[in-house]
Amino acid sequence: MDMTEKTLDSCRVFDGKLLHLDVDTVALPDGRTSIREVTRHPGGVCVLPLHADGTVSVVRQFRYPYAEVVTELPAGKLEPGEDPFDAVRRELSEETGCTAGEWHEMGLFYPTPGYTDERLHLYFARDLTLGATHPDEGEFLEQNRVSLDELLDQVMSGELKDGKTIALILKVKRFLDLEQA
């Protein structure tokens, strides 16, 4: 069965600094029409930086939509035309001060496919060299290091709530398990 929806009309109703909102009229597979509200996002990157001692650099920052401080893996948005690998190296350096000698691509993550086209490129980094952090202007972060096992426990207990962080922790854990097998 062809489940493809075809765009019949698109209207940009909001054009923000980061996000854009389109209201589209689509043809459904059964011939009827429907409306789709789509948040356009430039995409981003997320990295799990694993130190030689088995700890992972995480950051805590206030997330306005949730009105709380959230623990996350280092991440950030793509600049227009930016290569995801260049972006993830930049974000790792900005948020943790680290550079990495070994990188692994861990795939794409669609955080909310029901209403946004955001795509997050996931990476695993190790062989880390420490340096000074230099967050973006207006970015207030607290950096911590937590063991990978403790992060897994936080995923399972529900303490960690950030989707990209949860997905990448689980993917890296599986990667490491297979690497050791």
Sketch the domain layout of the chain as residue ranges. Answer: 6-40, 44-180
Told to judge if 5 belongs to the known catalytic residues of this protein, a careful annotator would answer no
Q: Which long-range contacts (CB under 8 A, 24 or more apart) does 106-111 make?
A: 106/48, 106/168, 106/171, 106/172, 106/175, 107/171, 109/46, 109/163, 109/164, 109/167, 109/168, 111/163, 111/164
pLDDT of residue 16: 96
pLDDT of residue 138: 83
Per-residue pLDDT of the chain in tens (181 residues, 90 and over written 9): 899 999 999 999 999 999 999 999 999 999 999 999 999 999 999 999 999 999 999 999 999 999 999 999 999 999 989 999 999 999 999 999 999 999 999 999 999 999 999 999 999 999 999 998 887 888 899 999 999 999 999 999 999 999 999 999 999 999 999 999 9
Query: Token match 């019949």: residue?
Result: 8
Measured CA to CA, the distance from residue 74 to residue 60 in angstroms comes to 9
CB atoms within 10 A of CB 9: 10
pLDDT of residue 127: 98
CATH topology of domain 44-180: Nucleoside Triphosphate Pyrophosphohydrolase (3.90.79)
Measured CA to CA, the distance from residue 54 to residue 78 in angstroms comes to 28
The residue annotated as part of the active site, out of 79, 137, 142, 159, is: 137
pTM, rounded to two decimals: 0.94
Angle value at C-alpha 148, between 147 and 149, nearest 5 degrees = 90
Q: Is 180 helix (H, G, I), strand (E, B) or coil?
A: helix
pLDDT of residue 29: 96
